[in-house]
Structure 1
Amino acid sequence: MEMSVSAFDKNYSKIPCYEIQLGARFSAPVFFDDGKNMFLAERKTAKQYHIDALKRWKIPYLLSYGHKILENSIKPVEDLDDISEVEELEEL
C-alpha cells in the first residue's frame, strides 16, 4: 500500500518570495508551494535568474523545513598556514 506525503507533513515554513534575495541560502532545500518540486537546493546560493523566475511566474511564497543562512553564520576557513602545497604533477 503506497502512502501519500502531503506538503505539510514535513513541517514546512512559508517563505515569502521577497525574502529570496540575491545570494540567499537556506539550510534545507526550498520547494515550490506543492512541497515536491525543488526551487533551490540546500546551501545553494540564489542567483538573479532564480529571482527573475519568481517574479515572472508570480510565485507568492516558497516552502522549506530549513532556515535562511545568515552571512555572519558562515564559518571562515582557519589555519591556512597548516595547508600544505600541492606538488607539481608529472607530465605523462
Structure 2
Amino acid sequence: MAAMSSALDKNYLKIPCSEIQLGVRFSAPVFFDDGKNMFLAERKTAKQYHIDALKRWKIPYLLSFGHKIDSENLTLDENFDDVAEVEELEEI
C-alpha cells in the first residue's frame, strides 16, 4: 500500500482504464497503477492488445504526468508508428 500512495504523491494524473481506447496517445509516459512500470510510452498509440491486457489483468486505472493528445492535431512525425510494416522489396 505504501508504494501505491507514494506513486500518487508524485502528482500523477489518475486515468480510468475506460479512457484508454484504440488510438489514444498521451503527452507523457503512462504507468500502471504502481507508478513505476510503464504501460505506454510518450506519444505512442494504444493498440488493441493494450486494451485487452487492461481488461485481462483487471487494471482499474493508470497514471501519467501528461494529458491525452488530440489525434487531429498530430504532426506527420508523430504518426510514424501507425504505418503498416512493409515487406522486403525484391531486387530487380
TM-score (norm 1): 0.72
Distance in 2 between residues matched to 1:26 and 1:55, nearest whole Å:
19
Report which stretch shifted further, 68-77 or 24-33: 68-77
Ranges in structure 2 where 5+ consecutive residues have no aligned partner: 1-5, 78-92
Q: Which runs of 4+ in 1 moved over 6 A?
A: none
* Cα shift at 1:8: 2.6
Structure 2 partner of 1:19: 19
Ranges in structure 1 where 5+ consecutive residues have no aligned partner: 1-5, 78-92
Other structure's SS at 1:34 match: coil
Structure in which a larger fraction of residues adopt helix? 2
Distance in 2 between residues matched to 1:30 and 1:71, nearest whole Å:
17
C-alpha root-mean-square deviation of aligned residues, in Å?
Answer: 1.7
Structure 2 partner of 1:30: 30
Between Structure 1 and Structure 2, how many residues are aligned?
73
- Give % identity: 82
In our comparison, the structure showing a higher alpha carbon Rg is 1
Listed as ranges, the matches of 1:5-84 within 5 Å are 6-75=6-75
* Cα shift at 1:16: 0.4
* Cα shift at 1:76: 5.3
